[in-house]
Structure 1
Amino acid sequence: MSTWPKANDPIVKVSSVARHIHGWSWATYPVVMGTGAVYLTLSALKDHPPWLHTMEIVFWSISIFIWTLNALILTLQAILFPQRTLRLIQHPVEGSFVPLMALCLAPIFLGTLTYGKVSAGFAYILFWLYVSVALSICLPMLVVWFAEPHDLTHFTPAYAFLIFPMMLVGVVAFSVIRVMDPTQGRTMGVLLVGYFFQGLGFFMTFFYLCIYVMKIMTTGIYEGHQANAAFIVCGPPGFTAFALINLSKYSRQILASQPDLEISGEMWYSTNVLAALMLYGLAIYFFAFDVLPYWNKLHRTRQGLDEILGYWALTFPNVGWIQATRSFGDVFGYEVFNKIHLIMTIIICCIWGILVVLTAKAFWKRKILISSADDVLKDAWLWPRRPAGTGPVLVHEDLESAVAFQRSPMGNGGPGLSSGTTTASVSMVNLGKPDLDMYQRPTRPATRFYESTDRTKEDR
């Protein structure tokens, strides 16, 4: 049963900053991936004017800023609201986004190798740093995720994000080899480790692709925001094809410098290009299978802004097969591959621009990345606790609303703040506004009040 606050009950204000920190999500990392998709595809264009290079550096800098901002806010969330962080990590869907913190380092490191004057030694350090971060995040999250049973009828392709960082090791590997001496022994080590993790990542995600096909056979094609997640399945075959082409290209130089392995380089190259072409076909099939019914399955409503973060899956997972298209243009010499790559790059840039506007709009309208004041208080272990036996804490987000509430009939003769409440008792919530004159402000209906009690959400 609800308990109305009395005159002497403490009033606590929960700031918007605290609500945003509490409501922040690991699902913000696809924004970094989407930004990385722009400069990665732009950097591979055949015709590359100087102004385009400057634009790529701008997008690369934006991705670094967003990654750092996400890491900072999620660290603050873990310190101030540890229960919230623990729930996110253990959540079957939200927890699958945690490895994206490592995955986003792949496009950032690729940009570092492309736009920075990086030495071979520094590139070698970057490679092992990425491998270490990917393993340190993916392996614990896999243990946490598989510790509980999961209903396959609720399967989403986002589950494959638990493996994605390890699958991108091959892409990082050939980018590092590009600036290293092929005759050095450690270059051979990078090549072998790249193949090792590329195979591990692809075959593990391939099992997820099988579950995806089984899921749509039993329940039909995904609808709503899950229609965006369906594009994730384009990632494993696309990125693996991209990695195999480029790893095999450098393997010819590396193996040629090894005794008795001169012919092996050509064999690796031929077999890898053949395998990449078949995987490329699978990626194109999944893309076409997802894009054809996409418009009919999408929820085109204003409420769709609540799901805007899921739309970023339209970008980065498709980068693999788009970049593989450009690589096939170099391998076979057909100009049509380069034209397809140009068209898809333009589409990626347009989608990025639309998503940035919609994401900013959703954030401004408080549709995403924000929690209620009551949820903030329940998870805040540093927040002052009310003494046992006292009345409930009246939580509000706006001092003017509190003043209006006091002057309303509810605060004067009705349930709510009693008529004896003084200006001082209300101004105790006036954090940062000590000179606010409550009688000079226009009144408005009391809204967005919450009772912070010991009852559970189900009891409310």
Structure 2
Amino acid sequence: MPQDELPKTAAQPSNSEPQNERAVSLVDGFTWGNFTCTQSTGGVALMLSKTPYSFRGLHTIGVVVFILNLVVFILFCTAMIYGAITLTYNVVIFVVMFSLAPFAPGSMSSPMFLMIYNAMLTGTVASAIAADQPPSQRIPIIVAGIAFEGLGWILCLLFLPHFVGNLLVNGLGPVNLRPGLFISVGSAGYTIIALIGCAKAIPDGHGYFAKHPTAAETLNIMALWVGIFLWLFTFWLFAIAAVAHVPILVSKLRGDKSRQQMSFALPWWAIVFPNVGFTIATVYIGEELESSAISWVATVMTILVFIAWLMDMYLHMKSIFQKRIM
């Protein structure tokens, strides 16, 4: 074989190496933060099923979104298989980090709410499944759901002052991470869902409620008015996060440098998931008050959240394949 052909032959395997390296780096860099996508997508499917004013085909759209969420979840779990091996290490290292480097007042970021949402969402899940269970099984589900919701809400109350303090000390944060401000909206929104949803699922004339026949009606009334009590606070959190983006929109219209800084990041999913809770909470309040005006507001909110979900899904997938985010 001529000598001048040897480099070509030796170089042939290297053509596939960059592709393999890209694939390995894509999976290796895949983080838990990507599951905010499935969290939001599942919430959108639930939100569509609760929309007060529907049209022909909306149920089908909801089913498609739900199936899509299952598919994406399985794909993400496949990409995260390697993470199971290091799960113990991650738990230990975070405990060590919290012990040796506790955060100071005014240094809490909005994603830290995700640390306590798992407890809060247990109450939301209970409110969603309790009504379809036999009466003998409803009460344990409702009791556990309310207990977990109480834990999550009280922890959120402890976190909210630090969250507001961080805004006062450090400002609104980087432009591309500012959508993360919406995370706090879910704290009160999902509490409203759990309270009203669990109250609606109470089995009349069974167990505790057989001994106290007026308890079911009393708890339904309390859940509704506590929900109304929390709704405006939820809107206040939403309004702060929304108005914080007004300067960004103005800068985009003017064409200044801020436009280049507004690129997709995982906190953008906070536009969807917390606002799903706010939307469903509005749906529940409208149903309980039998108010068509509130129901129409909830329908408009549903449309806007669905549009935001489409935007985030497109930008997320685009960012993954461009390796701009993992």
The answer to whether TM tops 0.5 is: yes
- Separation in structure 2 between the aligned mates of residue 157 and residue 255 of structure 1, nearest angstrom: 42
Q: 1:147 aligns with which of 99, 119, 125?
A: 99
Could you report, residue by residue, the CA deviation over 1:256-292 in whole angstroms, capped at 9, with x for unpaired residues?
8744211222222222222111111211110011111
What aligned pairs does 1:67-82 form with structure 2 within 5 A after superposition? 67-79=73-85, 82=86
1:356 shift after superposition? 2.2
1:335 shift after superposition? 0.9
The structure-2 alpha-carbon separation of the partners of 1:263 and 1:200, relative to structure 1 and needing over 3 Å to count, comes to same
The structure-2 alpha-carbon separation of the partners of 1:364 and 1:304, relative to structure 1 and needing over 3 Å to count, comes to farther
- Separation in structure 2 between the aligned mates of residue 88 and residue 229 of structure 1, nearest angstrom: 23
2:11 is aligned to: none
Could you report, residue by residue, the CA deviation over 1:383-410 in whole angstroms, capped at 9, with x for unpaired residues?
xxxxxxxxxxxxxxxxxxxxxxxxxxxx
2:186 is aligned to: 235
The structure-2 alpha-carbon separation of the partners of 1:201 and 1:215, relative to structure 1 and needing over 3 Å to count, comes to same
- Separation in structure 2 between the aligned mates of residue 225 and residue 237 of structure 1, nearest angstrom: 25
1:219 shift after superposition? 2.5
- Separation in structure 1 between the aligned mates of residue 59 and residue 305 of structure 2, nearest angstrom: 17
> Which of 217-226 and 63-72 deviates more?
217-226
What aligned pairs does 1:5-404 form with structure 2 within 5 A after superposition? 15-79=21-85, 82=86, 143=95, 146-148=98-100, 149-182=102-135, 184=136, 186-251=137-202, 253=204, 258-297=209-248, 300-302=258-260, 304-305=262-263, 307-369=264-326
> Which of 70-79 and 14-23 deviates more?
70-79
- Separation in structure 2 between the aligned mates of residue 227 and residue 302 of structure 1, nearest angstrom: 14
Provide TM-score, normalisation by structure 1: 0.61
Gaps of 5+ in 1: 1-6, 92-140, 370-460
Could you report, residue by residue, the CA deviation over 1:229-279 in whole angstroms, capped at 9, with x for unpaired residues?
110110111100111112112236266874421122222222222211111
1:310 shift after superposition? 1.9
The structure-2 alpha-carbon separation of the partners of 1:297 and 1:214, relative to structure 1 and needing over 3 Å to count, comes to farther
Could you report, residue by residue, the CA deviation over 1:340-368 in whole angstroms, capped at 9, with x for unpaired residues?
11111111111122222222322232212
The structure-2 alpha-carbon separation of the partners of 1:211 and 1:74, relative to structure 1 and needing over 3 Å to count, comes to same
Which one-letter code corresponds to 1:187 in the other structure? R
Find the residue that maps to 1:17 and give its secondary structure: helix
The structure-2 alpha-carbon separation of the partners of 1:324 and 1:152, relative to structure 1 and needing over 3 Å to count, comes to same
Find the residue that maps to 1:262 and give its secondary structure: coil
- Separation in structure 2 between the aligned mates of residue 300 and residue 292 of structure 1, nearest angstrom: 16
- Separation in structure 1 between the aligned mates of residue 157 and residue 97 of structure 2, nearest angstrom: 18
CA contact (8 A) 1:235 1:317 kept: yes
**Over aligned residue pairs, what C-alpha RMSD do you find?**
2.6
- Separation in structure 2 between the aligned mates of residue 225 and residue 90 of structure 1, nearest angstrom: 31
- Separation in structure 1 between the aligned mates of residue 301 and residue 96 of structure 2, nearest angstrom: 37
CA contact (8 A) 1:232 1:313 kept: yes
- Separation in structure 2 between the aligned mates of residue 358 and residue 300 of structure 1, nearest angstrom: 18
- Separation in structure 2 between the aligned mates of residue 68 and residue 159 of structure 1, nearest angstrom: 25
The structure-2 alpha-carbon separation of the partners of 1:159 and 1:252, relative to structure 1 and needing over 3 Å to count, comes to same
Which one-letter code corresponds to 1:362 in the other structure? S
Find the residue that maps to 1:163 and give its secondary structure: helix
- Separation in structure 2 between the aligned mates of residue 243 and residue 198 of structure 1, nearest angstrom: 7
- Separation in structure 1 between the aligned mates of residue 209 and residue 107 of structure 2, nearest angstrom: 50
- Separation in structure 2 between the aligned mates of residue 209 and residue 330 of structure 1, nearest angstrom: 29
The structure-2 alpha-carbon separation of the partners of 1:243 and 1:145, relative to structure 1 and needing over 3 Å to count, comes to farther
The structure-2 alpha-carbon separation of the partners of 1:267 and 1:257, relative to structure 1 and needing over 3 Å to count, comes to same
- Separation in structure 2 between the aligned mates of residue 267 and residue 158 of structure 1, nearest angstrom: 36
Find the residue that maps to 2:60 and give its secondary structure: helix
Which one-letter code corresponds to 1:246 in the other structure? G
Aligned identity (percent) is: 22
- Separation in structure 1 between the aligned mates of residue 115 and residue 307 of structure 2, nearest angstrom: 28
- Separation in structure 2 between the aligned mates of residue 302 and residue 359 of structure 1, nearest angstrom: 17
The structure-2 alpha-carbon separation of the partners of 1:151 and 1:277, relative to structure 1 and needing over 3 Å to count, comes to same
In the alignment of these two chains, the number of paired residues is: 303
CA contact (8 A) 1:42 1:56 kept: yes
- Separation in structure 1 between the aligned mates of residue 238 and residue 83 of structure 2, nearest angstrom: 36
Find the residue that maps to 1:58 and give its secondary structure: helix
Could you report, residue by residue, the CA deviation over 1:81-139 in whole angstroms, capped at 9, with x for unpaired residues?
x5xx7886678xxxxxxxxxxxxxxxxxxxxxxxxxxxxxxxxxxxxxxxxxxxxxxxx
- Separation in structure 2 between the aligned mates of residue 364 and residue 206 of structure 1, nearest angstrom: 38
